[in-house]
Each structure stands twice: as structure tokens, then as C-alpha cells.
Copies of this chain bind each other. A is one copy, B any other.
Amino acid sequence: MVIEKIKESRFTPDVFDITTFGTAFADHMLLSWYKDGKWSEPIIKPYGKLDFTPAISVGHYGQGIFEGMKAYKGETGDVYLFRPDKNLERLNKSAERLDMPQIPEEIFMDGLKALIDLDRQWVPSTYGMSLYLRPVMFATEEAITARSSNEYLFAILTAVAPNYYNKPLSVKVADRYSRAANGGVGFAKAAGNYAGSFYPTHLAREEGYDQVIWTDDATHTFIEEAGTMNVFVRINDKLITAPTSERILDGVTRRSMIELAKAEGIDVEVRKVTVEEMHTAHKNGQLKEVFGVGTAVVVNNYVAVGYASERLELEDLPETESYGKILKKKLVDLQMGISEDPFGWRLKVEENLVEA
């Protein structure tokens, strides 16, 4: 690994005051280039510009995948990652489906740790805050012909992460547009999945909603996911979430929430859940909460769910009663090193991995 340190850090304590997510980048980035069938030695260097022509393949054919992760700083000043092995695993699953090369574990894990160690002052210690980590791979070959690129960039970027949403969301259940096809790329964290979701989200906003809950493209019967969040529905005291599938992202936060819920003794079911079931439960006063979970958002308890022309309002349960809020606290406490980690999910980033 080559390290090219920034001459003068751009860090000041007020970087943590930023309110927009993913626009204030830390000092360094990690880069590795894929060409002639192999990855270059990774380099950590100051975040900044690279040379690309407008023929850059990803701009035309969309071979781009990414991961969302966070680094947390505990009260002792230690910096932690959360289940990074799951992100590497998923990145490589995405890569396979998008016909892109696999990222070797040493580039991903050693690169990630070295980068965070170098920029550890950028990790905030305020409860619930973190440094967002963005491993990304995209096609860089200068060729406008519809085939897999022969060249890729793998990068890890880091950006200060305030709350992704600064309020509880209201969400619209998709009844016209879709996010994923059977036999498509819905399970992958693929660039095109996001691009396709923005216009329907735009339309949902015009109806007064913040996001869309996606349903199956054939019948719009089953609740799938919310684009940047997996969805949990609580009916009475049963917590239900859809099984992952080739249309649904296998979220690390989703998995962790299921395990935390089980450990808490919450009755959690992984099974298909229909829009109609949610609607009926609401009518009968049994729909206690609906929430989205994901690395960027953590947990967001929805205030309303739009279903056809109806707006199902949801009660704002107190911290002690809401499964979403209870599990969020469990998760953040574990991530920040406040609570024990019986699952072995937390990974401490050792200091001085990088020579000065």
C-alpha cells in the first residue's frame, strides 16, 4: 500500500456541524485500479480529482456498485467498524451480478483500516454520529460499446455523516413503479437501482411523502424494501420483515436488527408481508409501527404510510415501547462500544497502522 499523506489536514472541529450527508469528504481516499486482469497496489492519497474522459464506461453502461458503512468513535477514543466482512461479501456478490471483478479481501479490509486510522480525527465521538465510509467500484474504460468494461476503479471515500434524515419519514407504497425485476439486479447494491428509484420518489414527494416502499413488480402485493432501507412492519407485538430475495437487498442493518430483536425476546418473523395485511392491521388498530433500517439511516420510524389514496397515520410510540427505537439504541450502543458485543460484530481499528 502506498501512502501519500495530505500536506495540511483540512480537518477543523466544525466539520461535524455539517447538516448535509455525504458532501464533506475527509482528508484521504483509497484507490486501486483494475486493468489487464489485476488490481494495482492500493494508494491512499488526498481526496481529490482524477482524470476521466466523458467516454468513461460507467456513465454510459452503469457498471457501478458500492457499500455503505460507518466508523464509530467510543468514549475511550477507540474507533470501530461494524461487521465489515458482511460489506465485503455483499460487494463481491454485487460485483459478480454486474460482471465486474472481485475485490480481494486485503485491498478492502487493509485499505479500509489504514484509511480510517489515518483520518481517525474525522470520526466524531458524539452519540449517534459517525464517519460514513463509501467503498465504490465503477467501470472506467474509455469505450462506448455495450459490453463489460475491462478497467475499473475501486475507491474508498469517507464523509462526515450527520443524520441521514432529520425527521421521521412518511412513505408511499409503490403501486405503479418498480425497483427490481425477477432475475434482475435488485439484490445487488448496483448504481442503476438507485437511478431508477429517483423519479418515482420525486412523484411520491409531490404527494407529500418522503420515500417509496417498493413492492413486487408483477402485482404490487408484497412489501419489499424502501430503496435505502429494509422495512419492518410491527403488527401487535409481532415484528415482520420480508425475506431477502433476488429483488431485495440483504441489508447488514436488517440482519443485525433481526438478531438483536431475537436477543431481546421480540417475536420476529421473516416472511412475505402483503400491503393488504398492513392495511387491514391499520384499520383494526393493530399496526403499531413501520420502520426502515439501513446503515445510512440507522432506523427511521415512519409517521405515515401511503397506500393507494389513503394515508395511514402511525402513532409516535415512546422510546420504551417502540421496537424500532429500542432496537436502534441497542444497535448504536453496540456500534459505539458502549454496550457489550456478544455477537462479535464490532471491529476495533488499531492505531498507527500507517507510518507517519
Contacts and interface: CB of A to CB of B under 8 A. Distances in A.
Nearest to A247: B181
A355 interface: no
Nearest to A199: B99
A250 interface: no
Contact of A227 (B59, B144, B146): B146
Contacts of A157: 54-55, 144
Interface stretch (A78-86, A110-118, A185-193): A185-193
Nearest to A227: B146
A138 interface: yes
A119 interface: no
B60 A217 contact: no
Contacts of A144: 22-23, 66, 132, 134, 136, 157, 159
B198 A99 contact: yes
Contacts of A191: 58-62, 191-192, 195
Contacts of A200: 183
Contacts of A64: 58-62, 195
B148 A202 contact: yes
B22 A143 contact: yes
Interface in A13-61: 20-23, 25, 29, 31, 47-56, 58-61
Contacts of A11: none
Interface of A: 20-23, 25, 29, 31, 47-56, 58-64, 66, 96-99, 132, 134, 136, 138, 142-148, 153, 155, 157, 159, 164, 174, 176-185, 190-196, 198-202, 217-218, 227-228, 296
Given A62-B64, A132-B144, A180-B181, 19 more contacts: A21-B145, A48-B53, A49-B51, A49-B53, A50-B52, A50-B53, A58-B58, A60-B66, A61-B194, A98-B199, A144-B159, A146-B194, A146-B227, A148-B198, A181-B217, A183-B217, A185-B195, A192-B192, A192-B195
